[in-house]
Chain A
Amino acid sequence: MNDATRAEVCAAAIADAFKDDGEIFGSPMGMLPMLGVRLAKLTSNPDLVISDGEALFLGGVPPLFAKGDVIEGWIPFRRVFDVIAYGRRHVMMGATQVDKHGNQNISAIGDFAQPKRQLLGSRGAPGNTVNNRTSYWVPKHSDRVFVEHVDIVSGVGPKRAKEAGIGASKYNDIHRIVSNLAVFDVKGADDTVRLLSVHPGVTVDEVRANTGFELAIEGDVPETRLPTLEELTIIREVLDPKKLRDREVPPVQAAAS
């Protein structure tokens, strides 16, 4: 019997997003993405290059927020931008809003001229999305995050990239959106967000009800796979013994059914 928690299911789904990337810079923003990328490096994709989130490429795979022992390179902020343009990078960013066409907003909520709520600013999202593979992580899936239209387009979805021309669309690659409920891509009809799998214990209707736009759904939607016992051991005993993951995605009772 597999007693994986929701956070562990999410970590494995995030790891799967990086499994076919080969030898590139896997660049997670936030805790669950960091856990997922490190899990991928220890299982499906040992060629992944990971960093400490600051200025160093790590030779080993340390637990979350631990100091790395072996350093295999230098990646100060200025060189991150070089690698973005070079393209051998897959970033998983957060998203305060994502819309039907996979556009992402981390800039502000409301009118840009006078926002209701100012967020971080667009950071590197505009450049990431037209240069290297980009995925999104949403820890609290709701219709406030998954909206018909984002207020401000920071990250560019495939439809907008195509409309902006080949300079924008050539390397646009929105790969996965992983939430605490489900996994998506942006390969629905007319470049829309498509439901790929629902996490164990979650129904398709529940995802629909918490999404503010009509999802592309093709046929029967499978369950997101459970982490293997090897993956669970790595998560629990190596990468996150303090269960920091449960703070971002609390355990769900219903998932045990």
Chain B
Amino acid sequence: MSSKPRDKRTSIEDVVASLEDGMTIGIGGWGPRRKPMALIRAIRNSDLKDLTIVSWGGADVGLLARAGKIRKLVYAFVSLDSVPLEPNFQKARQEKSIPEIVEIDEGMFQTGLLAASQRMPFLPMRAGLGSDVLVNNPDIKTVASPYPDADGEFEKFTAVPALRLDVALIHMNRADQHGNASYLGPDPYFDDLFAMAADRVFVTTEQIVDTAGLTVDTPVQRVLINRIMVDGVVETPNGAHFTTCTPDYERDEKFQKAYAAAAKDDESWAAFEARFLNGDEAAYQSAVQEFHAQEENK
């Protein structure tokens, strides 16, 4: 018997095959940053349907919304940053094609993941009080403090419900085959919280390295994800494209522009899908290379 922890390496296809219709899927990263886009593209091309998506939304939400995969969306914003409004998300909202919409405050989103990660049904906070977040989500309740404040008042807070996930999908700069994983950019985002809020966790990564390699050239504090949280690891170089994966690569602004422009009408979207999205990940990556070669020659 091996003296090492188990090898969790798997493939994009096997991860997607293990997902089921109606699941609640949390997607790590933030807006147009370090998104597990290779998995998103594969889900888009799968038969999966009626998904609940929980995301600090970027093109992950846009792609899945345009493909009609989302039955329920939980978000605080959806943005591509340099393109402020995500056109596919906008279209879905304005055409009411996502049946259930849960728009909450950003801090509530974090608190909901935190509650789930702590196996609490809710956690209290102030965010939401007085805003239409509580009007548009009437199932979110408030809770009174059992302790008086300095003036003897019993304050009332938002009881943020846990955002429990069936599956979390995250993309990290480096991982080992056992599921330990590190981010090398400036921001961890909330990927560890997504992982701990989920029953199952899949990590895609730029590069699988030996465990010793995780800390050979970077502080141990960057190893955000521990293998106790992880079920499967997939090596997907450039797998966060066209979002950032700092410092391995920055956002592909040219491609993002092309994406946003294509989303504006059905005909150009169909052409964009045919050129980039309808094949597998290898086909996508080579189509992106070709796109840049053509851009250079312009």
Contact = CB atoms under 8 A, between A and B. Distances in A.
B264 interface: no
A77 B30 contact: yes
Interface residues of B, number: 47
A224 interface: no
Given A76-B186, A76-B187, A126 B128 contact: yes
A219 interface: no
A117 B94 contact: yes
Given A78-B188, A120-B79, A163 B130 contact: yes
Given A115-B93, A124-B106, A166-B153, A76 B189 contact: yes
Nearest to A158: B130
A152 interface: yes
B125 A127 contact: yes
A130 B30 contact: no
B104 interface: yes
Contacts of B95: 114
B108 interface: yes
Given A118-B85, A170-B155, A84 B107 contact: yes
Interface string A26-69: 00000000000000000000000000001110000000000000
B187 A54 contact: yes
A36 B245 CA distance: 31
A120 B119 CA distance: 30
Chain A residues touching B, range: 35 or more
Counting chain B CB atoms within 10 Å of each CB, the highest count among A76, A116, A168 belongs to A168
B188 A76 contact: yes
Contact of A78 (B85, B130, B132, B189): B189
A127 B127 contact: yes
A98 to B, nearest CB: 14
B108 A127 contact: yes
A156 B130 contact: yes
Interface in A84-140: 84-85, 107-108, 112-127, 129-131
A126 B57 CA distance: 18
A166 to B, nearest CB: 5
A81 B186 contact: no
Contact of B126 (A74, A114, A168): A168
A124 B76 CA distance: 8
A154 interface: yes
Nearest to A162: B130
A172 B155 CA distance: 14
8 contacts: A78-B190, A115-B93, A122-B76, A127-B106, A130-B129, A160-B130, A167-B129, A168-B130
Nearest 10 CB-CB pairings of A with B: A127-B127, A168-B129, A164-B130, A121-B77, A126-B131, A118-B93, A55-B186, A167-B155, A156-B130, A127-B107
Given A127-B106, A130-B127, A166-B156, 17 more contacts: A76-B186, A76-B187, A107-B103, A112-B101, A113-B101, A117-B90, A118-B90, A121-B76, A121-B77, A124-B127, A127-B108, A127-B125, A129-B131, A156-B130, A165-B155, A169-B130, A171-B126
